[in-house]
Amino acid sequence: MFAGHVGAGLAIGRMEPRLNPGLVVLAALLLDVVLWILVLGGVERATIPANYAARRYLLFDFPISHGVVLAAGWALAAAGTAALVARGGSVRPGRVVAVVGLAVASHELLDLLVHVPEIPLLGRSSPALGLGLWRAMPVALAAEAAVAFGGLAWYLRGSDLSRGRRIGLVAVVAVVTALTVAGQTVAPAPPDVGTVAGSGLVSIGVTAALVGWLGRTRSAGR
């Protein structure tokens, strides 16, 4: 899932318009940043299954980045870090804690909906969770697109962005949704997991930077 996390980040970002929405979207994708770094470092694993052409999703061994208890820990750590950074600025630290913590937690909730039962509670030997909506891929992708565009619409309703910046954000969400849908329907199997991890990190960085640039407002003091 990618576009759905972007939409959730935008929706949650509406709670504090003085916080740059690019940061909130980055928080909503934080667990995947941790995942891909740990995959590149050989600590966690993503597997391209032999029947990828039929399945259209990878399998994961990711107890540190996505385990339920540790994901809550990542949310708390990110919220605490953001509050420290925001100290003394125009953004209220309490709001920063709520927005960043919720954004990170939203990632775990959305992943629990789509992943097959592979998300451990705490550690590799603990029970694994996941509703497995990816097994009904058209349903999963329709739900993800609804979250992406619903989150975008909710964010735009609460913002005073110029027409140009609004169009830019619609374009970003349309592109990430198209890429997500293509990646899980028609795109060929990825060549190797390192490529998936590298392109995942680049996609997250570029998307958060674009949302941050387009979502800047004068009321944010810039």
CB of 217 to Zn ion, least distance (A): 29
Binding window for Zn ion (CB under 5 A); candidates: 23-31, 80-88, 89-97, 134-142:
23-31
Rg of the chain over Cα atoms, rounded to whole angstroms, equals: 17
- Contact map string, positions 77 to 116, toward Zn ion, x by CB under 5 A: ----------------------------------x-----
- Contact map string, positions 25 to 54, toward Zn ion, x by CB under 5 A: ------xx----------------------
Residue closer to Zn ion, measured from CB, 161 or 208? 208
Residue closer to Zn ion, measured from CB, 16 or 32? 32
Contact 120, 7 (CB under 8 A): no
For 165-174, the CB contacts below 8 A with 24+ separation are 165/214, 165/215, 165/216, 168/210, 168/214, 169/10, 169/211, 169/214, 169/215, 172/6, 172/207, 172/210, 172/211, 172/214, 173/3, 173/6, 173/7, 173/10, 173/148, 173/149
CB of 141 to Zn ion, least distance (A): 16
Count the Cβ atoms, other than its own, within 10 Å of residue 76: 15
Q: Residues binding Zn ion: what is the number (CB under 5 A)?
A: 3
Residue closer to Zn ion, measured from CB, 118 or 220? 118
Point out which residues pair with 129 in neighbouring strands. 119
3 state DSSP class of 209: helix
CB of 135 to Zn ion, least distance (A): 17
Residue closer to Zn ion, measured from CB, 13 or 115? 115
d(CA 71, CA 162): 36
CB of 156 to Zn ion, least distance (A): 25
Residue closer to Zn ion, measured from CB, 107 or 215? 107
Contact 70, 63 (CB under 8 A): yes
Enumerate binding residues for Zn ion (CB under 5 A): 31-32, 111
